[in-house]
């Protein structure tokens, strides 16, 4: 299985299992860059077996809904700290699921810690692996920037 297909499967499985949200892979995000700049992002360094940075970009409304679903609360109860925790946990789980799909059972992999601090927007379109998903008319991007 190629790395992109494995990542798409891992993302879909994590969103469905953790947040009860079904994702549909699409070719590209139709939203203009200024809109995407308002989206939440989280990053995680992957040290081995491949080295690079995994980036997840998710809309504020989708993040609120996903957080409520994961925590089993109403969307009105969600706060920024909860969103940050859920975003980090989803990215960590996603990275682990992806590594299990692209490595042999006996091959170790090493992940860094998720970073959910609000830094400058990272445009994922130039990543070596770029996946876009539609979820009820909202969009999620997951990308991997390879370090050579």
Whole-number pLDDT of residue 78:
97
pLDDT digits (tens, 9 = 90+) for 64-90: 999 999 999 999 999 999 999 999 999
Please give the order of strands across the beta sheet that includes 24-26. 24-26, 129-135, 138-146, 52-58, 40-48, 110-111
What pLDDT, on a 0 to 100 scale, did the predictor assign at position 29? 80
Q: How far apart are CA 51 and CA 67, in angstroms?
A: 29
The whole-number pLDDT of residue 119 equals: 72
14 in Cβ contact with 97 (< 8 Å): yes
Q: What is the pTM of this model?
A: 0.91
DSSP 113: -
Provide block-wise average pLDDT over 10 residues at a time, the chain (148 residues): 93 94 89 79 94 95 94 95 95 96 92 88 90 90 91
- What per-residue confidence (pLDDT) applies to 123? 87
Q: What is the pLDDT of residue 136?
A: 85
In this predicted structure, what is the pLDDT of residue 34? 73
**Tell me, what's the pLDDT at 33?**
75
């Amino acid at each position: 299985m190629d790395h992109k297909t494995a990542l798409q499967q891992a993302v879909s499985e994590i969103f469905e299992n953790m947040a009860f949200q079904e994702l549909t892979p699409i070719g590209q995000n139709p939203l203009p860059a200024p809109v995407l700049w308002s989206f939440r992002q989280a990053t995680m360094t992957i040290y081995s077996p491949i080295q690079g940075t995994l980036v997840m970009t998710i809309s504020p409304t989708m993040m609120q809904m996903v957080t409520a679903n994961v925590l089993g609360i109403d969307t009105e109860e969600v706060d920024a700290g909860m969103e940050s925790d859920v975003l980090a946990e989803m990215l960590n789980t996603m990275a682990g699921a992806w590594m299990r799909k692209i490595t042999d059972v006996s091959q170790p992999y090493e992940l860094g810690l998720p970073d959910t601090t609000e830094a400058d927007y990272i445009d994922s379109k130039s990543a070596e692996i770029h996946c876009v998903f539609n979820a009820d008319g909202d969009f999620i991007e997951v990308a991997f920037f390879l370090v050579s």
